Amino acid sequence: MQLRNQLAASLGFAATAAAQAYQGFNYGATNNDGSCRGYDDFRGFFERAKGLAGTEGQFTAARLYTSIQCGTAADPISAYQAAIDTDTQILVGLWASAGRAAYENELNALISAAKQLGTAFTDRIIGVSVGSEDLYRASPTGQQNNAGPGATGAEIEGYIGWMRDWFRGTLLEGKPIGHVDTWTAWVLPENAGVAASVDFLGHNGFPYFENTKPNSIDLAADNFWSAVQQTESVAAGKPVFITETGWPSMGPQSGDAIASVENSQRYYSQVGCALFGQRTTFWYTLVDANTAQTELSFSLTPLDSATPKFDLTC
């Protein structure tokens, strides 16, 4: 009953907050061995996502973490052209945890892409995210977990204002601007200014990792929706996109959470199938690519095969 009530409340919010719900996956700029992804890689993955058995072609969007092509200083990422050529919608991402100079390169790459590719590119933009989990990494919890360099709320607010200034008078003007983070970062008082300055909030939620409380697969759906409600509590009615969620099919035990194909499928069926078509969602993930998580596998398909690890029918 608790889950049903949470689900109804959350989906009701989603229906009023966004006119259209997109479904897609997260795509990093590199492979899990650290090698750079190029146009052929992105095109192949976008086509694979659309053709996944059992999904009726519903995965037609892509979330990116950077606008810069791997191996270059500030060239637009080749995923943009691949998205045009496969008619894939894009949640653009700019890396925002490497300082102002690196962020300026991100802005330059995105502006260049808009100039070079025109409306074929910009018409496919769902929104633009300034950073991903920067606030979490900068928080005491992130620092305690050695999560890496982050950015403060004040820095992210500044980057958002900078972006709005640079978008003025370009094909990117008016595109929704947001930020992606964990609920634990969104609810911190020092980050209220970020929530106030964005057009949408991205929510990354992994009950598997929340091992400071009971987090078995039996509790996963309730834990997921409880976390979403925390992010919604500071959203002031703005859309909340589910930008990352999933359950690993392989990996170490995390608290009560066990990684297995069976549990990955159960999480997909209980959480994913409730999200798809109702709320903009980027599942984690189509193909493993996180160089820091080589002992974990969240992918729905292996790198070298388009055959899903389990039945994806909802």
Q: Active-site positions?
A: 133, 244
76 three-class SS: strand
Q: Are 152 and 169 in contact (CB under 8 A)?
A: no
Among residues 166, 191, 167, the alpha carbon closest in space to that of 179 is found at 191
Q: Give 283's contacts (C-beta < 8 A, 6+ positions apart).
A: 23, 24, 25, 26, 59, 245, 246, 268, 272, 300
Report the candidate in 93, 95, 71 with the shortest Cα–Cα distance to residue 80.
Answer: 93
Element (H, E) at 27: strand 23-27
Two structure tokens written together for 106: 């991100």
